[in-house]
Every structure is written in structure tokens, then in C-alpha cells.
A = this chain, B = another copy of it.
Amino acid sequence: MPRFFMPKEEIAPDSFTLSKENAAHLRVLRLKNGDAVTVCDGAGTDYECLIEDGNSGRLSVTCVSPSKSEPQVFASVYMAFAKSDKFEHVIQKATELGASEVVCFPSSRCVSRPDERSLKAKLDRWSKIAASAAGQSGRGVIPQIIALPSYAAALARAASAALAVCFYENEKSLTYCAAISQKPFRTASILTGPEGGFSEEEIRQAAAAGLQICTLGRRILRCETAPLCALSALMYATGEF
């Protein structure tokens, strides 16, 4: 069924009119009066609607329910600043895979980090990528894209989740599976490094902040592969598929 995102404040419980952009999309899809569509508020609520007037985009609501496509676990993907195309790739794929937020932050070996002036425009662009991927994959929530000013801020925020894991290629003993299996959790942070990896000192800081340092296996993953591998495994391990 066609799926549109609308801000919560523009949706009414009985009937409402789609935004101009969405109404135009309705016409492109050649939907007729009486056809069913889903409008999602991007915050986890779905509105099943019938088209009352396809020209104006007027809809009547038939059912309001929590989105059925959101995962059980609130998954936060923490990724050190990487080249823009890699980060955008991770935003798109992490959204499909069910991330609730994607957080970027600086670390010592980042080869690329946006300056404060360009960051605002980049966040706008990144949010649009997340919104588009959320629509295409049928998500009920558009993941928030967040930029943090320091590695310490990323560690402190990541550590507040019930499961908080930092991946390090030199860690050989603690598996991700062991960390996941310790106890039930509803929130998870998975933290991965930039192209050049984390320094030993950064790994010590992550451990001191309360993150578990885990291996992702004996193969070296690229900085854009590691978060998506870890997120896929998290969704699998928490019963999503």
C-alpha cells in the first residue's frame, strides 16, 4: 500500500489533507477516490486512510495504530565521521535495517570531518536521505541523524543504552554474541570507528565509559561495512527475522 510521511501536527484523527508534495505523488501513482493509503507520522503511528478527493489530497481516516514495522529494540548507530558518501550510505542502509538513530562524532583518526558551517546543510541532507529510505522500506519512524561535537560526548551518550558496544579489530576475546546474550535489553548503542580505526587510547576511553569492547570477527571490515554488519546481527539476535 502507498505510504506517505506527514508531520504529526498536520494529521487530524478523522480527516485531513495531504501536503502538496504528497498530493502530487498521489496523482503520479494514479490512485483513485476510495483507494486506501497509509499516512505515517514518522514517530511510530500509522493512519490507514481512504482517498476522499484525489485532486486535493483529502483523506478520511479509517484506523489509527502503532506502526507494525518498527523493531523491538531502539538501536543507535554511532559512526565516527567518515567520507560523506560512506556516511550517507550508512544512513540509507541503517534506516532500512531498522536503526532508530544514526549518530556521527569526531575521533582522532578521522580523515574527514565537516566544519560547523557546512554541518547544518549536511544534517538537512542526511535527514532527507533517512526520510526517503524510511518511506521506501516501510518504516514507521524516520531515524534521527545527530552530530556530536566530541568523542567524549559520543561515549557518554552511547553508554546510556542498556547494551553499549564498541567494535575494535584488535579485540580477540569478547564476541558481540557474548555481549548481546548477557541480559535482555530494549536500547542498544553500536559504535564503530573511522577509515583508520580507533586508537588504543580511544578504546581505553570507551571501556572506561562503560562500553563493551567487542570483535566483529577475524576479517577487517571497512568503516561503512562494520556498522551495517553489527546492526544486521543485532536485528537477527533480537528476533526481527
Residue A175 at the B interface, CB < 8 A?
Answer: yes
Copies of this chain held together in the complex: 2
Q: Is the CB of B97 within 8 A of A220?
A: no
A98 CB contact (under 8 Å) in B219, B232, B233, B236: B219
A241 CB contact (under 8 Å) in B71, B139, B175: B175
Number of chain A residues whose Cβ lies closer than 8 Å to a Cβ of chain B: 35
Interface of chain A, main secondary structure: mixed
Q: Is the CB of B219 within 8 A of A176?
A: no
Q: Which residues of B contact A139 (CB under 8 A)?
A: 219
A219 to B98, CA, bound (A): 8
Q: Is the CB of A221 within 8 A of B137?
A: yes
Q: Which residues of B contact A230 (CB under 8 A)?
A: 232
Q: Which residues of B contact A220 (CB under 8 A)?
A: 96, 136-138
Q: How distant is A130 from chain B, measured CB to nearest CB, in Å?
A: 13
Residue A215 at the B interface, CB < 8 A?
Answer: yes
Most chain B CB neighbours (cut-off 10 Å) among A177, A215, A219, A229: A219
A138 to B232, CA, bound (A): 22
Task: Identify the 10 closest CB pairs spanning chains A and B, nearest first.
Answer: A233-B236, A232-B232, A217-B241, A229-B232, A69-B218, A217-B240, A137-B219, A216-B241, A137-B220, A176-B241
Chain A residues packing against B (C-beta within 8 Å)? 68-69, 71, 93, 96-98, 136-139, 175-177, 214-222, 225, 228-230, 232-233, 235-237, 239-241
